Amino acid sequence: AMKVLVSCGSDVKCDRLLGRVAKLNKSGSFEALFCIGSLHSGDGESTQSSFLSGDSPLPIATYVFGAVPDGVDASLENLHLLGTYGFTTVGKLSVVYYIESSVPNQSVSGEKRTRDQTDEDFSSLEALVKSKDLPCDILITSSWPAGVLNNIQRKDYPADQKDTGNSPTGSSNVTKLNQICQPRYHFVTNSRTPGETAPASSQVYFERIPFKHMSASHVCRFISIPEIDTKGQKWLYASNITPIEEMKEEQLAQIPPHTTESPFVVNSAPEPALKKFKPEEPATLKVHSSYGAFGSLSGGGEENEDSWSHHRYNHEYRDGRNSKPKKIDRCWFCIDSDDVAEHLIASIGDECYLALPKGGLVPDHLLIIPLDHITNPYDLKKETFAEIARYKQSLGEYGKKSGKNFVFFERNVRTQYGMVHYLIQCVPVPESTSSEEIQRKFEEISRVQYQISYQVLSNRDEIRSHVKKNTQYFVAELPDKRCLLHLVKNSRRHPLQLGREVLAEVIGHPERKNWKECELNQQEEIKLAAQFKGAYKPYDFTLA
């Protein structure tokens, strides 16, 4: 399989893109970046990128599908300029691409092209593709295929088109190309198709429910990516794609749940989900168990609820000491992970993002999560600290509006998987509950149930004088900014649910202390996330 990143580019934001890619790829796990679009600002005023001028090396093999920008040295190491249409292979992945353009531009060979040559291009591409081994792995186009939203319900439309129900006109050439190539992945940018009346969503990330090709056994995943740096949207798609030639037939024929029929055959009575396909394990289940495995989210698989009863304590502890940490090869909180719960993300900044947890204690229970895979707050850059503080502050302002104060807590404790992705839990409590009352609850429950006590700090910054690089700790930040710090000794375990358990008491809902009992189905989660995003919007500094 090949780990690839896909973006929709323009040269203005080239540095932003390549900077993010370099960051994501620090571990060197990605093999290629696909950049769809002309790398052309469109208004003639291009900012010269240090990457494209050769001043900085490209962080990763970069494949540009689109017109060749002026002044770019095509011989740069790692840069592959592929022009506006063709067939190519990247590693073992076969890729067909067709970038239509409404402005005159140049093809790779340098001859001038104009709008009326588009049909000619398409005919030669069609002939070329038909001479190749099909189906292909990936189809890349600048336009949406006409009719791609057929056979799905309005609620599954792109976020900005649910209300209007407008379906983008799309390009019939692209539809034809999809039918010929039968790609497993079809990536599109959101640029307007020349001459179309209803443009495709330009500002939102959209992944259509997979559909089954008409005359093939496999499905197509249609993914539309917004312009680089679109605030609050995923604009860099990461995936692990196995080339068709390495797939067994039964793998290829696996049909994900809810798969629809091809949108390019319009039924008179559309039936969105084909019942005859036997679904593989539902995606929601996978996410659920992943969150559980991480525990740090709010509870779950790491320890059983009753493992704190005394007779089991020693037993579990012995087991824990004798076994090495279990290895994990995926992280559910890395923004570029295939398994991040996309629909729960509420805001994306430059350093961190904001997401709802599974089974939140209250509807606006949130997590602040660094974009980078940081497992130790000691390793956080000052920019990241600063953005965490901005998120805390904006949540504070958001809470004030509805008479709530936020309590933040972090549990930086080794799990059976080692140290996991650092994150901060954010839970609003009624303004009428004083910091002293919250403090008393923390102290009382911790002492009585777990023999844990706290030192009181005057603010979060003070923690630095108590915590060294490998110190394990739990800290709760009260509305008056004072912090309750507990240092966890290496030989001790720390109750996974403590912060949540205390705050469930504080808000008068002790029955909600277990996240599993508060879990919602995916539709409800999507609704909850949308509600929060709407209410938080005026305070979201990433949208400003």
Query: Would you tell me which residues interact with Zn ion (CB under 5 A)?
Result: 331, 333-334, 373, 421
Residue 321: half-sphere exposure toward Cβ, Cα within 13 Å: 9
- State in angstroms the smallest separation of the CB of 121 from Zn ion: 42
Q: Please check whether residue 544 is in contact with residue 355, taking contact to mean a CB–CB distance below 8 angstroms.
A: no
- State in angstroms the smallest separation of the CB of 297 from Zn ion: 12
Q: Of the two residues 254 and 375, which places its CB atom closer to Zn ion in the complex?
A: 375
Does residue 218 sit in helix, strand or coil?
coil
Q: Of the two residues 200 and 331, which places its CB atom closer to Zn ion in the complex?
A: 331
Alpha-carbon span 237 to 235, nearest angstrom? 6
Alpha-carbon span 113 to 82, nearest angstrom? 15
Q: What are phi and psi of 70, to 5 degrees?
A: -65, 145
Q: Please check whether residue 395 is in contact with residue 355, taking contact to mean a CB–CB distance below 8 angstroms.
A: no
Q: Of the two residues 68 and 335, which places its CB atom closer to Zn ion in the complex?
A: 335
Nearest to 413 by CA among 363, 339, 488: 488
Does residue 159 sit in helix, strand or coil?
helix
Q: End-to-end alpha-carbon separation of the chain, Å? A: 39
Q: Of the two residues 261 and 372, which places its CB atom closer to Zn ion in the complex?
A: 372
H helices of 295-366, where? Answer: 310-322
- State in angstroms the smallest separation of the CB of 426 from Zn ion: 18
Q: Of the two residues 348 and 503, which places its CB atom closer to Zn ion in the complex?
A: 348
Nearest to 333 by CA among 300, 301, 375: 375
DSSP-derived pairing of the beta strands 219-224 and 185-188: parallel
Q: Of the two residues 410 and 501, which places its CB atom closer to Zn ion in the complex?
A: 410
- State in angstroms the smallest separation of the CB of 30 from Zn ion: 15
- State in angstroms the smallest separation of the CB of 337 from Zn ion: 7
Residue 439 to residues 231, 483, 493, Cα–Cα distance (Å): 37, 9, 22
Alpha-carbon span 427 to 405, nearest angstrom? 8
Residue 38: half-sphere exposure toward Cβ, Cα within 13 Å: 20
By beta carbon distance, the residue nearest Zn ion is: 331
Q: Please check whether residue 212 is in contact with residue 259, taking contact to mean a CB–CB distance below 8 angstroms.
A: yes
Q: Of the two residues 193 and 384, which places its CB atom closer to Zn ion in the complex?
A: 384
Q: Please check whether residue 475 is in contact with residue 486, taking contact to mean a CB–CB distance below 8 angstroms.
A: yes
- State in angstroms the smallest separation of the CB of 296 from Zn ion: 11
- State in angstroms the smallest separation of the CB of 401 from Zn ion: 32
Alpha-carbon span 388 to 377, nearest angstrom? 11
Residue 459 to residues 213, 409, 448, 480, Cα–Cα distance (Å): 58, 13, 26, 9
- State in angstroms the smallest separation of the CB of 420 from Zn ion: 8
Tell me which residue has tokens 């500002």.
Answer: 203
Alpha-carbon span 255 to 279, nearest angstrom? 6
User: For the chain, what is the total number of helices (H) and then of strands (E)?
Assistant: 10, 22
Residue 474 to residues 234, 425, 466, 487, Cα–Cα distance (Å): 31, 11, 12, 7
Q: Of the two residues 220 and 331, which places its CB atom closer to Zn ion in the complex?
A: 331
Q: Of the two residues 291 and 442, which places its CB atom closer to Zn ion in the complex?
A: 291
**Sequence letter at residue 176:** K
- State in angstroms the smallest separation of the CB of 346 from Zn ion: 18
